[in-house]
Structure 1
Amino acid sequence: MNVIIIEDEKPSARRLQRMLGNLMIEAHTMLHSVEESIAWFIENKHPDLIFLDIQLSDGLSFEIFEALEINSAVIFTTAYDAYALQAFKLNSIDYLLKPIDEEDLAKAIAKYKMRLPTQKPVVIDFDDIRKLLVNPLDLTYKKRFSVKLGQHLKLIAIEDIECFYSENKGTYAYTKDGRNYLLDISLEQLDSDLEPKLFFRVSRKFYVNINAIKDMISYTNSRLQIKLNTYNEQDVIVARERVKDFKDWLE
């Protein structure tokens, strides 16, 4: 099977490549922009399957298909919410919601292989998908959170948050001025709300802001300890299985 990955976030692309490798599928080609992808398709044989992010560094990935006739099967990798994903269902396109789960990836591959004997080029109505996305950049990530303080509501800008963490079944945002705020949301629900270039989930308990990292220290069992600018209430440890992805994210 000839597979390529089109994803502007290189750590995410490398992570998907490794996950595919675990399924004995090689994806040697990784493209990171609309312009680079169009140039590649002009010069190369089109693959059997494309893993395609929606928002690339220089525009929407739809522009690739509008510029060229490409008959490859497509599995979208996206952080968009369920409402936007209705478009993909209506057009019979598979999708994987970020962060991608290995089990979901395996199921998507199995579904693709089952369709192979009768595989036909997918006709994608990009205009309909655009209408549902409305404004992709606005839908993707939160820019602020609202928290309740007594009878008042306070807005916290995302850039002011050093980390998110869970404690005693609650989820907290810790800000650079040294304050904790209880959020009405679980840590898992933050997965699709946070800009992946800005925040990384280092463990089941912590998300950290890349701009708040002061130091990184080798820790027991091949883990890393992170020192943040002001947060020091608990040790922030990168889980062993996330160290490789964390190092990729830092780049």
Structure 2
Amino acid sequence: MNVLLIEDEVLAVQQLTKLLEEIGPHIRIIGQTDGIESSVEWLKSHAMPDLILMDIELSDGQSFEIFNRVDVPCPVIFTTSYDEYAIRAFQVNSVDYLLKPIKPADLARALTKYERFNRQGAFPMNLSQLLGELQRQNQPQEYRTRFLVKQGQRLLPIDVERIAYFCTEDGLTVFLTREGMKHVVDYTLEELEAMLNPKVFFRATRQFILSIDSVGAIHTHFNGKLKLHLTPASDKEVFVSRERVNAFKDWLGR
């Protein structure tokens, strides 16, 4: 299956590429564009892909304009952070409509739907089914708001807003509050990643999940790494690997 990615967010391109690679070796990304003009040019100068994964909000406008500029006979899976475009999306040759952040299971299901429709030779537009799926996908994500920790003989609730960062220490997972108090939690960092709001917390290394307010000074380091100084200070050096630098900068809001 030859796939064209039309997406202007670097992190989204990286995520989609990774997800497609994980889904199967039969999927090959043959191109990637980031705007209306570049997409129209690509579609006019290349053989049509089997499928397009297309973001709706691009750097130079809404991707629906592409269909006014060039014939796109192949099916499309739309991706976007907003559900207001659903009806218009299905006025073109759409297979599915995925809300960001895209879940691996949702992408896999959309590709399975494409393959089923492709075998049948038709791509039906079931709007009522789509809107029902959108309603399910658009349920607000609930993130952890507090942790119950043991302090001596007492149990103490700690609001997430007070947590500076989580880290592993001597086989345990602990967090430090902004006041510098350390507490043990019965979760792995992997489990915590799913519980915490990704706009506020970032898995900087294998040993650290940081809140955005805990990041103090940032220094460039050799081999493209970044060295972080945390607040409260950590007794361990914290480096962001070269592979994670772009994601880290995007999280900080560059």
Q: TM-score range by the shorter chain?
A: 0.5 to 0.7
Name which of 220, 238, 245 aligns with 1:243: 245
Structure 2 spans left out of the alignment, 5+ residues: 22-27, 36-54
Distance change in 2, residues 1:247/1:66 (3 Å): same
Tell me, what secondary structure is at the counterpart of 2:29? coil
Q: For 1:248 and 1:18, how far apart are their aligned partners in 2?
A: 18
RMSD: 3.7
Q: CA deviation at 1:215?
A: 0.6
The residue that corresponds to 1:196 in the other structure is: 198
Larger Cα-atom Rg: 2
1:80-112 C-alpha deviation (Å, 9 max, x unpaired): 9xxxxxxxxxxxxxx4169xxxxxx8x779757
Name which of 45, 52, 60 aligns with 2:79: 52
Distance change in 2, residues 1:32/1:149 (3 Å): farther
Q: CA deviation at 1:150?
A: 3.8
Identity of aligned residues (%): 27
Name which of 84, 94, 106 aligns with 1:72: 94
The residue that corresponds to 1:214 in the other structure is: 216
Distance change in 2, residues 1:67/1:144 (3 Å): farther
The residue that corresponds to 1:96 in the other structure is: 104
Structure 1 spans left out of the alignment, 5+ residues: 81-94, 99-104
The residue that corresponds to 1:141 in the other structure is: 143
Q: CA deviation at 1:205?
A: 1.1
Distance change in 2, residues 1:11/1:201 (3 Å): farther
TM-score scaled by structure 2? Answer: 0.66
Distance change in 2, residues 1:19/1:154 (3 Å): same
What is the identity, as a one-letter code, of the residue corresponding to 1:12?
L
Q: CA deviation at 1:216?
A: 0.8
Which structure's relative contact order is higher, taking Cα pairs within 8 Å and 6+ residues apart? 1
Distance change in 2, residues 1:29/1:213 (3 Å): same
Distance change in 2, residues 1:221/1:3 (3 Å): closer
Q: CA deviation at 1:168?
A: 2.8
1:129-161 C-alpha deviation (Å, 9 max, x unpaired): 63x56x833x34222222233443322222221
The residue that corresponds to 1:13 in the other structure is: 12
Distance change in 2, residues 1:156/1:136 (3 Å): farther
- Number of equivalenced pairs: 215
1:210-248 C-alpha deviation (Å, 9 max, x unpaired): 222111112243211110121322111112321222223
Q: For 2:173 and 2:215, how far apart are their aligned partners in 1?
A: 20
